[in-house]
Structure 1
Amino acid sequence: MSRRALFLDRDGVINIDHGYVVRRDAFDFVDGIFELVAQARARGYLVIVVTNQAGIGRGYYTEADFHALMEWVGEQFDARGGHIDKVYFCPDHPEHGVGEYRRVSEFRKPAPGMLLAARDDFDIDMKASLFVGDNLTDMQAGAAAGVGTNLLLTPEGSCDFAETIPSLQAALSFLR
């Protein structure tokens, strides 16, 4: 039986995007994220993070640094009534990647690879799922993967691929 998922971008949705955040002391949670994840879990959604992490590819920090931070992030959600089921990340960058990370990847948004991997790993009903992102590339990836509701977190502007929402609190109304 397929399950629904709440897909979340990381930088700009879970945390304030200060640019290549990898340290706990620089990780500021976006207002409303804990409530959104807790409500999604209470309504039976899986919670999946899908995030481009070019900072790894650029050599700013390592995959181990990223995993350590995300383990701590997961603990913060668990302590507040939410849970992240899995984090998918793409460290590659086609122009600015260093060494093995300098490549085109089907997992780097706007490509849908991370979302499709989650679909296959968890038997997710993409049409019944939601994706909250803060970038056009997030919305393009969601649309390409067949996500039923794509929400662009932005105080202004419109997007051909998504509903726009001014805050994470507004995303609560899309959980069924």
Structure 2
Amino acid sequence: MTTRAPDTTGLPHIEALARHFADLRDGTHGEGGDTVSRLGKEQHFRRAVELLHPYAVQVLDEFDATLLLGTGEVDATGVRHTRDAGLAASWTLSWPEQRETEIAPITLLAYYGGGFHHPHLRGATVHDWPLNVFTPDQAAAEVPTLRAIATGDLHNLVFQRDYRIVPSHPRRCR
């Protein structure tokens, strides 16, 4: 019996997972599963970071404008080498209340660990989404995932302290 793959057209999050699973199955990475070497996969990662950059900044700017009342600072590292001989790039949103409590900023992290088959996305407190971005359209389709990571991160950071680290929700006056 032959099993046919379901039609994932128009469902970017499912298409991204399908690319992820195909990479694992085939031992490859890249649009069309064309890359096997670590060097080639690192080139794909660098391009993915470049494609994701405007969307990561957009998502963090949304949080800053709405929840942090414009008090935040967005920072991007670009691609850097990690201790485990991998690569990583991060985008962070910090703000005065968060810095005062010495907790992590809202973080969007693209990383390709030294022993990994392919790269992933995560936050400071929220972990591991597959990162299979090779085109501008695929990068744009990651905006909901980036929003989900940032939302989860902010929720977890509030949980580490309390809601008062979010300027749009000040203390109640009694």
> Shorter-chain TM-score: which interval?
under 0.3
TM-score by length of 1: 0.27
- Structure with bigger gyration radius: 2
